[in-house]
Amino acid sequence: MFLKNFVKTHFTREKKLRLSIKNIFGFYPGNIFLYKLALRHKSASLDKINGFKINNERLEYLGDAILGAVVAEYLFKRFPYENEGFLTEMRSKIVSRSSLNKLSHKLGLSKLIVSSDTKNGHGKSAAGDAFEAFVGALYIDKGYEFSKKVIINHIVTVHYDIDNLIHADINYKSKMIEWSQKEKHSLRFDLVEEIKQKHEKQYVVEVVVDEKAITKAKDFSIKGAEKLAAEKAWTKLGLAPL
């Protein structure tokens, strides 16, 4: 009786996951175990084999690369007369941690994450990480061409406003560098602190102009902290709004 219920619940859950995937991404998964793995946050890692934990991190690594390639090609073809600087920046905007986190919440994918750390939403980047891991699972399950179609037709063209993105997110770090060169000020971005948390790391970067500390900012990446600190400095120095 217990076994019967266990088997029933187990298969009902898998059936639900299949349907969720069909609803969100428009396809029925082949090997459902891959997708289950993609949704397993490191806080809910399964067995260790020689210290090796089973969770979605490997699939995230793979999915990140596949997503990068698909988006690179999409932009390459969509913008035939833009240079590689433009394409690189557009791609960063599309696959940035914050974009992918938002996307994962919007799709409802983040709700499917299996985690033992639900109180604080299993860390800030878990949603985006799970999306990347999902892409990794999709790629292994269905191959490159199929994955490409799903990513373009069900994600990029539906959930991103590409024309809007072109003008979004001014890179204040670059702007600060341009300004300092033009106006002959010395400029430095100092990494002044690295804060280790349970599963993540945050970086504090300080903007130093003419050897004087202007502002600090904190982020999950050094680049992010630099940009935020630069934006604050831009305002604090009273430079023209961009």
Q: What single string gives the DSSP state of each residue in 13-68?
A: HHHHHHHHHHHHHSS--SSHHHHHHHTB-GGG-EEEETTEEESSHHHHHHHHHHHH
Catalytic residue among 47, 82, 117, 132: 132
- The backbone torsions φ and ψ at residue 31, rounded to the nearest 5 degrees and listed phi first, read -85, 100
Work out which of 32, 44, 114, 192 binds a copy of itself, going by CB under 8 A. 192
Does 185 help bind a copy of itself (rule: CB under 8 A)? no
181 or 235: whose CB is closer to a copy of itself?
Answer: 181
Cβ 131 to a copy of itself shortest distance, Å: 15
49 or 242: whose CB is closer to a copy of itself?
Answer: 49
Q: What are the b/e assignments for 161-181, b being 16+ CB within 10 Å?
A: eeeeeeeeeebbbebbeebee
What mask, x for binding a copy of itself by CB under 8 A, covers residues 195 to 234? ----------------------------------------
Tokens of 186: 């010395």
Using CB under 8 A as the binding rule, the residues of this chain from 91 to 150 that contact a copy of itself are 91, 139, 143-145
Quick check: is 161 catalytic?
no
Cβ 27 to a copy of itself shortest distance, Å: 18
The radius of gyration of the chain from alpha carbons, rounded to an integer in Å, stands at 21
- The backbone torsions φ and ψ at residue 205, rounded to the nearest 5 degrees and listed phi first, read -115, 140
Measured in residues, the chain has a length of 242
The CA distance from 1 to 7, in Å, is 10
Does 2 help bind a copy of itself (rule: CB under 8 A)? no
Work out which of 24, 114, 177, 204 binds a copy of itself, going by CB under 8 A. 177
The answer to whether 210 touches 87, Cβ cutoff 8 Å, is: no
What mask, x for binding a copy of itself by CB under 8 A, covers residues 7 to 46? ----------------------------------------
Cβ 24 to a copy of itself shortest distance, Å: 23
Does 152 help bind a copy of itself (rule: CB under 8 A)? no
Quick check: is 132 catalytic?
yes
What mask, x for binding a copy of itself by CB under 8 A, covers residues 49 to 88? xx-xx---xx-xxx-xxx-xx-xxx--x----xxxx--xx
CB atoms closer than 10 angstroms to residue 121:
14
Location of structure tokens 């109180």: 119
Beta strands in 67-186 (DSSP E): none
The catalytic residue positions are: 64, 132
